[in-house]
Amino acid sequence: MSRGSHRIEKDRVARSFLRGMPTYEDQAVVQRLANERLLSLLVALGCNRYDRILEIGSCTGMFSSLLHETFSPELFFLNDLVPEFFQTVKKKLTPGNSTTILPLFGDIEHLELPVNLDLVASSSTFQWLEDLPRFFAKVHRSLTEGAVFGFSMFGDETYYELRELTGTGLKYPSFAEVRDQVADNFKIVHADIERDHLYFDHPREVLGHIRATGVGGVGGFNWTPRRYERFVEDYQNKFATEQGLMLSYVSYQIIAQKRG
């Protein structure tokens, strides 16, 4: 899949998420909402247990703990680009549960996936991947027949305000592109778009929020005092609302099953 001229610098992304680890959960309001929505969609399928689960993009373990508590897997494979997250995630998982936790850290696009999985799940991660069609085919091969693939990812118009003023940021695939790419290998059970907005008192708080959640790893904008002043002025003029200065998030949610 073409992602335009922007190439994702995954080493830089990893460093940014590691730097943001202490503040991530306080600031990751929309990510927490995405976790809860995705879990609700998975629960609605009616299966209360998956024996072999792979989570892609565990980060600090907010979604990991929900999956662990809800589905009590025998084997729980945890993946993230940042290996330092593993101990943080492991501490969050329910003590006394008989689940075996297995780390699978590194760039998921280049790792060999476990096989015979019952569920592959991911929240707020796939926007970082460079070749989604190839990756979706790889996930398909890792699942048993009838197994579930569920994910939420940020999509087009996320951080619209920042891109409008700086011209930088991820180039997201459209919802239709992602849905159709999944449908090449899977039966789509559910697909929708969620839009969320956060509000801030000052543009510097917007930038602080983005840095605190690790997403500042995209970078690419050369800040100078004059550019910062112009950014502040333009943000206040263009994106002020009664609730405050708006920052947009758009999430794609897809639940699919492997066809035989």
CB 3 within 8 A of CB 171: yes
Of 16 and 35, the one with more pLDDT: 35
Q: Which of 9, 23, 255 is nearest to 122 (CA)?
A: 255
CB 254 within 8 A of CB 47: no
Domains contained in the chain, CATH given:
10-258 (3.40.50.150)
Amino acid in the structure at residue 124: S
pLDDT tens per residue across span 111-121 = 999 999 999 99
- Could you give the C-alpha distances from 172 to 6, 104, 229, in angstroms and in order? 10, 26, 28
**Tokens 């897809």, residue located:** 254
**Tokens 């600031």, residue located:** 27
How far is residue 242's CA from residue 202's CA, in Å, rounded to a whole number? 13
pLDDT tens per residue across span 206-237 = 999 988 886 654 466 788 999 999 999 999 99
Of 10 and 160, the one with more pLDDT: 160
- Please name the residues in contact with 72: beta carbons below 8 A apart, sequence gap of 6 or more: 49, 97, 98, 99
pLDDT tens per residue across span 138-197 = 999 999 999 999 999 999 999 999 999 998 888 899 999 999 999 999 999 999 999 999
Residue 8 is predicted with a pLDDT of: 67
pLDDT tens per residue across span 64-73 = 999 999 999 9
- Please name the residues in contact with 186: beta carbons below 8 A apart, sequence gap of 6 or more: 136, 140, 149, 256, 257, 258, 259
Residue 98 has pLDDT above 90, yes or no: no
How far is residue 68's CA from residue 243's CA, in Å, rounded to a whole number? 36
CB 118 within 8 A of CB 148: yes
**Tokens 């695939």, residue located:** 173
pLDDT band (50, 70, 90) for residue 96: low
- The two three-digit tokens of residue 56, written as one number: 């892609």
- The two three-digit tokens of residue 101, written as one number: 């936790």
pLDDT band (50, 70, 90) for residue 53: very high
- Predicted structure pTM score: 0.91
Q: Which of 73, 28, 24, 26 is nearest to 48 (CA)?
A: 73
HSE-CB of 89 using CA atoms within 13 angstroms? 29
